[in-house]
Structure 1
Amino acid sequence: MSSPVVIVVAAGPGVSGSVARLLASQGWRVGLLGSDEGAVRELADSIPSADDGVRWAVADVTDEPAARAAVTRLADGFGRIDLLHFNPSAYRGSDPLQLTVDELLADVAVGVGALLTSVQAARPFMSDGARITVTGSMAADEPSAGAASLGVQKAGVRNLVHSVDARLSADGIRAVSVTVRGVLSAEGAFTPDRVAAAIVAAARQDPSAWRTEVPYSG
């Protein structure tokens, strides 16, 4: 059997990159999807791989046809998806009296809507045992008034994960959001590598005791 495959949506130098490198070090093949070609290429070059173990694509996750095509192209190249990791969110420093409806909807399209596109594109390549993970945040429960759309995104994507898991669990495909209860840092419990390890651990939960939300508090 060929080695397992992870597709990372919104791949970049932070948690998503750490997820990719961690799984690559365990023998996984890696597909990277990001909007910044330079960042995606740099991440791909930083992942040691044999043969065609790392592939990458560039697309705006809110451009549904382009994002769907990119996920499909990566999956076609590998022939399967064992883990889909969804990482994007939009940060906008606007409080509820400044934030416009159009801005809120644009941000939700990034942090929530793009999960629908990613899952729908990935589903034909996923089979029993495949997993979907999402980088969550304590902003879902403790939103900042100064960045009002972020809390909406994180609460929304966590809720959507519950629905995705309920829809796919009968097929043996499970979904989980990891709620990061801390601020990412270069040292300590909330480094991207530590958070990535928590995400991978959540993907490897016992299916008989599956939780669709797993908190990470360091």
Structure 2
Amino acid sequence: MSKPVIVVVAAGPGVSGSVARRFAEDGHDVGLIGIDDGPLAELKASIDGADVQTVVADLTDTESATHAIRTLGDHFGRIDVLHFNPSAFREKDPLELTVPELLQDVALGVGGLLTAVQAARPYLSRGGRVTATGSMAADQPWHRAASLGVQKAGLRNLVLSLDKTLEPDGIRAVSVTVRGTLAREGAFTPDRVAEAIHAAATQDEAGWQAEVPYSG
């Protein structure tokens, strides 16, 4: 029987990388999707004991992102966990931010999840999980990065809808709302956040929560 598989969308050196390593430690093979070959290669080298495959894709390009997911799904023959991590940080307040800029950011931070799940659905089966890195910006946006709060609020909303849609097939979705600032030490290191995401993905389905806060 093949090993379970996690596919990490927007994989890199931060939380997404820690998520990939945490699930590899738990016995998963790993698919990594990112915008740049260099960081993907570095992350791949940091993961032991797993079949690690990488694909470069522009997540705002529906065709490119769909092809990346399907390439990994075809290679492994399954996807058990789909982790969505990206967001766009643009330091502009609501009076500076243009509508095209807002839509561009939302296309990455929210639309990318829609593309990823639709592409991954044929490879997800009962017990499959969709996880996303949420943020307190959904509730407490910083006005100087107005589009980020919109992305994170939209991401959480979409995860809730995905969870209800996928539940009849035994697949669940969860957003982990990180209520703190990422740091190299303390409760909000990438590894600690990744542990919270792993715990959310493996929670008891009988008491499933589609949004899980992480406050350290």
TM-score range, shorter-chain basis? over 0.9
Residue 25 of structure 1 and its aligned partner are, at CA, apart by: 1.5
Deviations 1:141-186 (A, max 9, x none): 0000000000000000000001101100000000000000000000
Which has the higher mean CA deviation after the structures are superposed, 184-193 or 33-42?
A: 33-42
Aligned positions of 1:5-44 closer than 5 A: 5-44=5-44
- Gap runs ≥5 in structure 1: none
For 1:139 and 1:200, how far apart are their aligned partners in 2?
Answer: 21
**Paired residue for 1:61?**
59
Which letter maps to 1:207? E
**Paired residue for 2:97?**
99
SS in 1 for 2:11: coil
**Paired residue for 2:163?**
165
For 2:165 and 2:27, how far apart are their aligned partners in 1?
Answer: 29
**Paired residue for 1:116?**
114
Give the alignment partner of residue 151 of structure 2, picking from 150, 153, 157.
153
SS in 2 for 1:190: coil
For 2:48 and 2:177, how far apart are their aligned partners in 1?
Answer: 29
Q: If the length of structure 2 is used for normalisation, what is the TM-score?
A: 0.99
Which letter maps to 1:133? T
For 1:93 and 1:40, how far apart are their aligned partners in 2?
Answer: 26
Deviations 1:48-102 (A, max 9, x none): 135xx10010001001001000000011100000000000000000000000000
SS in 2 for 1:81: coil
RMSD between aligned residues:
0.6
**Paired residue for 1:190?**
188
Which letter maps to 2:81? L
Which letter maps to 2:38? G
Residue 36 of structure 1 and its aligned partner are, at CA, apart by: 1.3
- Gap runs ≥5 in structure 2: none
Fraction of identical pairs, as percent: 67
Moved over 2 A (4+): none
For 1:20 and 1:84, how far apart are their aligned partners in 2?
Answer: 11
For 2:80 and 2:26, how far apart are their aligned partners in 1?
Answer: 14
**Paired residue for 1:132?**
130
Equivalences, count:
216
Residue 47 of structure 1 and its aligned partner are, at CA, apart by: 0.8
Which letter maps to 2:177? T
Which letter maps to 1:25? E
For 1:48 and 1:168, how far apart are their aligned partners in 2?
Answer: 32
For 1:155 and 1:102, how far apart are their aligned partners in 2?
Answer: 18
**Paired residue for 1:84?**
82
For 1:26 and 1:133, how far apart are their aligned partners in 2?
Answer: 16
For 1:25 and 1:133, how far apart are their aligned partners in 2?
Answer: 17
SS in 2 for 1:184: coil
Residue 205 of structure 1 and its aligned partner are, at CA, apart by: 1.1
